[in-house]
Chains A and B, each alone.
Chain A
């Protein structure tokens, strides 16, 4: 008996890309190339930190994207709670954004650790900023673990949305930890309370380029990963439909 699914012939479009995502990908890639050239070869070394400041151009954008990702997860989770009976689209965006956020938060921790070894003489200190950042990272790893629990998709969306809305409250704590407590970590050089930017013009422009480049990469990844989840969900439904059809045919025979 031929059990091959009949839909295979009409799956002619490969991948999850569109014209818009290809343009987005190309712009992101071009900006990343500029970032590498500018950060590693054009910008001056820091007066105090020397060349180790070049780690800042990946560390700060990575931390920024992680915050953005977790806030996106919270907003999408809120929307999925409000519109939960209509679509899982918001839940997929929430999950995809958290995945990308965890990756960037991990990168912020690792690059921060390497930078810390050069400037503080140690890879790790149980300092308020580092500790709260690690706690934020672990919280979202837990969030992703909850999303892997095999339950009804609507129930999974509801549970994870509640966790995401609680977890996002940690972000202000992480951001202001350097002000609230005595911290080894420096205060913000750009977004500080007195509005005084303490960076050379080219350094600031390169840092800004990094933030834009990483934000575009984040958008590209989230778009593709939420489409990937949609494909996986659809494939599961098709598989179930096929199995039911085969069973019905056997019963009818």
Chain B
């Protein structure tokens, strides 16, 4: 495949950054939710 490095970099940067944001969000949510009572979580 021609131009492989550029193509892989584009995909890796996009999926990697989205995945990283998702991971950070999940970890932070777990941390914070343990300090907030369930009755104050409207989605529960």
Residues in chain A within 8 A of chain B (CB atoms): 5, 7-8, 10-18, 32, 36, 40, 45, 50-52, 54-55, 58-59, 62, 100, 103-104, 106-107, 110-111, 114-115, 117-118, 217, 220-221, 224-225, 227-228, 230-232, 234-235, 238
- A55 touching B7, Cβ below 8 Å: yes
Task: Contacts A13-B41, A14-B30, A234-B40 given; indicate if A107 touches B13 (C-beta within 8 A).
Answer: yes
Query: Which residues 7-44 in B have Cβ within 8 Å of A in the complex?
Result: 7, 9-11, 13-15, 17-18, 21-22, 25-26, 28-30, 32-44
> What is the distance, in angstroms, from B12's C-beta to the closest C-beta of chain A?
10
Q: Is the interface of A mostly helix, strand, loop or mixed?
A: helix
- B residues with a Cβ closer than 8 A to A are 1-4, 6-7, 9-11, 13-15, 17-18, 21-22, 25-26, 28-30, 32-44
Chain A neighbourhood of B36, CB < 8 A? 7, 11, 231, 234-235, 238
What residue in chain A is nearest B26 (Cβ atoms)?
A15
Chain B residues whose CB sits within 8 angstroms of the CB of A62 once the complex forms:
14
A7 to B36, CA, bound (A): 7
- 26 residue pairs from A and B, CB less than 8 Å apart: A7-B37, A10-B38, A11-B33, A11-B38, A13-B33, A16-B41, A51-B7, A52-B3, A58-B11, A103-B18, A104-B18, A107-B18, A111-B10, A111-B13, A114-B9, A114-B10, A118-B3, A224-B22, A224-B29, A227-B41, A228-B29, A228-B32, A231-B41, A232-B32, A235-B32, A238-B40
Is there an interface contact between B7 and A54, defined as CB atoms closer than 8 Å?
yes
* A16/B43 in contact, CB under 8 A: yes
In the bound complex, residues from chain A placing their C-beta under 8 Å from that of B18 are 103-104, 107, 217, 221
A237 and chain B: residue at smallest CB distance: B40
- Find out whether the CB atom of B29 lies under 8 angstroms from the CB atom of A16: yes
When distances are taken between beta carbons in the complex, the residues of chain B under 8 Å from A238 are 35-36, 40
* A221-B37 CB under 8 A given contacts A14-B30, A118-B3: no
Beyond A13-B38, A118-B3, 11 additional pairs, beta carbon < 8 A: A8-B34, A13-B41, A15-B30, A18-B44, A36-B11, A51-B7, A55-B6, A58-B10, A58-B14, A59-B10, A103-B18
- Chain B positions within 8 Å of A232 at CB level: 32
CB neighbours (8 Å) of B29 from chain A are 15-17, 224, 227-228, 231
Task: State A18–B38 Cα separation when bound (angstroms).
Answer: 13
Is the Cβ of A117 less than 8 Å from the Cβ of B6?
A: yes
Q: How far is the CA of A27 from the CA of B40 in the complex (A)?
A: 29
Select B25's contact among A18, A106, A111, A225, beta carbons within 8 Å. Answer: A225
Determine whether the beta carbon of B10 is less than 8 Å from that of A55: yes
